[in-house]
Structure 1
Amino acid sequence: MPKLTDTQTIILSAAAQRPDNIALPLPKGLHGAAAKKVVDIMIGRGWLEEVDANLQKGEPLWRETGDGHGTTLIATADGLEAIGIEPVVVRTMAAIRKHRDEPPAPKRPIPRAGTKQAMLIEMLQRPEGAAIAEIVEATGWQSHTARGAMSGALKKLGLVVTSAKVEERGRVYRIS
């Protein structure tokens, strides 16, 4: 086990008892240049890590990075091992923190069967594709509405519509 100062032991012990192993606030009386020196040494030894602070959750700030963002300090697996705490807990908390910070996957809308949009998708999925005139005839839409549906609504569904000029038919659209 590495040799820790009393201050380092207090910081790591307090972090081990806090949610997400946050090392802030530092002990009373430790501020300014002395706090920076202790923290820099602990970061250098891999006992603390500076991470983005979740301001919505009210995490304390170590330093501001600008634009309303800042960093906080967390005890690492090595830091908690230095005071005799099992690293499994640290790895679990790191996994939870990583998962929390990932944005949820956007839900893709699902087209309803029997709608004009479903008919448009079916026409565009055919090997020969569909020309605007064919889409207008089948759906009863005006040509600008058909083009808007292809560039807007189908894009939201994650479908990529391509077009190519065909001599006999004009511009033909397909879902690739």
Structure 2
Amino acid sequence: MPKLTDTQTIILSRAATRPGNLAMPLPDGLRGAAAKMAVTRMITNGWLEEVDADLRKGEPLWRETGDGHGTTLIATEIGLGAIGIEPVVAKAVTGPRKAKPKPDEEPTASEPAEVAKPITIRAGTKQAQIIALLQRPEGASITEIVEVTGWQAHSARGLISGGLKKKLGLPITSEKVDGRGTVYKLDAA
């Protein structure tokens, strides 16, 4: 895990709890040259990314681009990983939000046309534990999930189908395995 300063930890932790992982507004007292230096270092490390701000949603601006638009800052998968949020969880959280391509660049077919619904998952929660179980090569059965969480079987199945598959859109597969029952797996693609 990389060594973070207190300021960097605060910025990333707050971003992890905000919709769309917005890193703005920055902590009180972090302004001017100090803010620019901290943010530039975090962008260089890949922990933050500068993206177009959606002014209709009232997103705070990091800087104005001069054409009537502005940019804001979001935490990246690498940034969320730096504060201990699991990689697949971070991928689900960060979503497909990217800055508009520069005029000389053509958008690719792999870039989504619209922004996914912002998702936040706190590290250390039962949901994060279940995601970790499903990421294992052998996956996890409902019995194994019940043992780890202490939940009823119907609650575990409900989280998988409703919370993880439908709400988060995670690619979870299931198959029947002799001696284990239905085994669920999360492909880390």
TM-score class normalised by the smaller sequence: 0.5 to 0.7
**Alignment partners' CA distance in 2, 1:52 and 1:80:** 20
> What residue number does 1:6 align with?
6
**Alignment partners' CA distance in 2, 1:14 and 1:6:** 12
Q: Secondary structure at the match of 1:49?
A: strand
> What residue number does 2:60 align with?
60
Deviations 1:62-108 (A, max 9, x none): 00002220100000000000000123233224435445349xxxxxx
Deviations 1:123-165 (A, max 9, x none): xxxxxxxxxxxxxxxxxxxxxxxxxxxxxxxxxxxxxxxxxxx
What amino acid does structure 2 have at the position aligned with 1:70? G
Q: 1:83 to 1:101 in 2, by over 3 A?
A: closer
**Alignment partners' CA distance in 2, 1:99 and 1:10:** 31
Deviations 1:44-74 (A, max 9, x none): 0000000011111111100000222010000
Q: 1:4 to 1:61 in 2, by over 3 A?
A: same
**Alignment partners' CA distance in 2, 1:70 and 1:94:** 20
Q: Secondary structure at the match of 1:23?
A: coil
Task: Give identity over the alignment, percent.
Answer: 71
What amino acid does structure 1 have at the position aligned with 2:54? N
> What residue number does 2:49 align with?
49
What amino acid does structure 1 have at the position aligned with 2:69? H
**Alignment partners' CA distance in 1, 2:85 and 2:113:** 23
Structure 1 position 95 matched with structure 2 position 109: no
Report the structure number with the largest CA radius of gyration. 1
What amino acid does structure 2 have at the position aligned with 1:100? E
Which structure: greater helix fraction? Answer: 1
**Alignment partners' CA distance in 1, 2:63 and 2:84:** 28
How many residues were matched structurally?
A: 102
Give the TM-score, by structure 1 length. Answer: 0.54
- Structure 1's unaligned 5+ residue stretches are 103-176
What amino acid does structure 1 have at the position aligned with 2:38? V
**Alignment partners' CA distance in 2, 1:99 and 1:92:** 17
**Alignment partners' CA distance in 1, 2:88 and 2:55:** 27
What amino acid does structure 1 have at the position aligned with 2:24? L
Q: 1:13 to 1:94 in 2, by over 3 A?
A: closer
What amino acid does structure 1 have at the position aligned with 2:92? T
- Structure 2's unaligned 5+ residue stretches are 98-111, 117-189
